Amino acid sequence: KAGVTQTPRYLIKTRGQQVTLSCSPISGHRSVSWYQQTPGQGLQFLFEYFSETQRNKGNFPGRFSGRQFSNSRSEMNVSTLELGDSALYLCASSQWDRGKGYGYTFGSGTRLTVV
């Protein structure tokens, strides 16, 4: 069974550019969440999608956006990159079934460096 796939693994961008990261969840998982991880801030929740709808959003500026497609694949976009956006971006997928207590399966992440 394939895991959560994030592409690309590494990315170097220039300040002011925009970037799109991709996440393919485990087959059958309909919920996809995104997290930003930095040494100083730990694991920060960005947003969660289910059935192509954003269900919850963290405390990030509007430069951070995402979407989910009908096949549950998800993308997140960061526009007007800042140096502080340099981080490991993690995607996690989960099944969606109230009362089952499903956990997340994480991808290996995309390491974004803004120069």
Partner 1 sequence: AQSVAQPEDQVNVAEGNPLTVKCTYSVSGNPYLFWYVQYPNRGLQFLLKYITGDNLVKGSYGFEAEFNKSQTSFHLKKPSALVSDSALYFCAVRDGVGNSGGYQKVTFGTGTKLQVIP
* One of 34, 35, 47, 64 touching partner 1 (CB under 8 A): 35
Phi/psi zone of residue 100: left (φ > 0), alpha (ψ -120 to 50 degrees), beta? Answer: alpha
Binding mask 3-32 for partner 1 (x = CB under 8 A): -x-x--------------------------
Residue 80 per-residue DSSP state: S
Q: Which is nearer to partner 1, 10 or 14 (CB)?
A: 10
Q: If we measure between CA atoms, which residue out of 89, 65, 69 comes closest to residue 13?
A: 89
* Residue 96 lies near partner 1 (rule: CB under 8 A): yes
Query: Taking contact as CB under 8 A, which single stretch among the options 11-19, 41-49, 64-72, 75-83 is the one that binds partner 1?
Result: 41-49
Residue 3: both structure tokens together: 């895991």
Contact stretch for partner 1 (CB under 8 A) within 12-20, 63-71, 77-85, 103-111: 103-111
What is the distance between the alpha carbons of residues 47 and 59, in angstroms, rounded to a whole number?
9
Residue of 11, 18, 100, 29 whose CA lies nearest to 48: 29
Residues forming contacts to partner 1 in the complex (CB under 8 A) are 4, 6, 33, 35, 42-43, 45, 48, 50, 55-56, 88, 90, 92, 96, 98-101, 103-109, 111
